[in-house]
Chain A
Amino acid sequence: MHRLIPFALAVFASPAAAAIEGERVQITGEVIDTWCYFSGVMGGPDAVVGSAHRTCALWCSAGGIPVGLLAPDGQVYMVLKMAGDDRTAGGDTSLNIAAHTIEADGMLYRRDGMNYLVVEKITADQDIINATHEDFGVIPGFAIPDSEALK
């Protein structure tokens, strides 16, 4: 019995052994900026998604803020890889689909109340289908500079 203890300690100390069991999932959702969504800094959750918030979503994605996938049931999945790309701190793959609704195939991990998603493949990209600008204008209001009105 005692001979098993060092082995058990070694297993629990190594990074790979710390991994938890994932679940293969297919999730459809919008690629969101998790800071604005969770913090309320720009307003309510309904206002910081879709076309109204698309420019801000670009800024936050380029700024290295984690992106999430917001499913229709309100669940948010924090994305740790997007289409196999682990450069989620400001990388191009997530930036190019900011505010798009995608269908994702990947592995889901849960820890401490949060959902973590490793998107292995984007099986469909529906582009931006959430036309929130019709209800909210643009969020934040300065997303479109005043100079655009003069053109």
Chain B
Amino acid sequence: MIRPTLKRSIICFAALAMPATAQDFSEGSEAREWGLYAEQKALFTATVTDPLCVLTGDCADNCGAGNRQVVLVREADDVMIFPLKNAQSAFNGAVADLAPFCGQTVDVDGLLIDDPEIGAMSVYMVQRIRPEGGDWQRANTWTDDWAAKNPDASGDGPWFRRDPRVRQQIEEEGYLGLGKEVDKAFIADWF
């Protein structure tokens, strides 16, 4: 016979070992729909943390201070959610918005993508963040962060046309990454 305390422990560990299930976290969400594959509105409470620390024990101060990716460990079920994107529409990740809350419990609102067929489990677009005891704030700080780090790249047009590293890559290998001659032939045919 299994003692009640041991039984509870077994159930607890079994729950931790279970894969992410398709729970509904849409209640109360005000996330904007994007028409993405398998998107689901999702508002939940989570701890902002460093995935390298969680998975490998290699922990950096402040979750890597904006250099490492960060994850959200959801309070309701201990599932590790990987934020891929913030609320902006110009190819921006979520680290600049989330890393300042490293180690903190926050509420987040956004879109989960659950498409196991292509390997998308527990990935997320965070649109707004509410720190404990604070107000909701939009997850849209990436471009300001980029501008502060790239004062010489100011000018007209979106950041991705002005980014020095991107421009250098295109200058060296072309838009297709196959060299300038391939680009030239393609552009002549494409436009």
Contacts and interface: CB of A to CB of B under 8 A. Distances in A.
Interface of A: 15-20, 22, 34-35, 37-41, 45, 51-52, 54-56, 58-60, 62-66, 74-76, 78, 80-81, 86-92, 95-96, 98-99, 107, 109, 111-116, 118, 127-128, 131, 133, 137-138, 143-146, 148-149
Contact of A51 (B20, B79, B142, B176): B176
Nearest to A56: B91
Contact of B175 (A19, A54, A63, A76): A54
A107 B67 CA distance: 20
A62 B63 CA distance: 19
B176 A112 contact: no
A38 B115 contact: yes
B2 interface: no
B187 A148 contact: yes
Given A39-B84, A112-B122, A144-B175, 16 more contacts: A35-B91, A38-B120, A41-B34, A58-B170, A64-B92, A76-B119, A76-B120, A86-B67, A87-B68, A88-B69, A90-B93, A111-B55, A112-B80, A113-B121, A118-B56, A146-B191
B82 A66 contact: yes
B175 A16 contact: no
Contacts of B190: 137-138, 144
Chain B interface extent, by class: 35 or more
A16 B170 contact: no
29 contacts: A16-B57, A19-B55, A35-B84, A38-B84, A38-B119, A39-B125, A41-B34, A55-B175, A59-B166, A63-B90, A63-B92, A63-B142, A63-B160, A64-B92, A65-B91, A76-B119, A80-B52, A80-B56, A89-B93, A89-B95, A91-B67, A109-B55, A111-B55, A112-B79, A114-B123, A128-B176, A131-B178, A144-B175, A148-B187
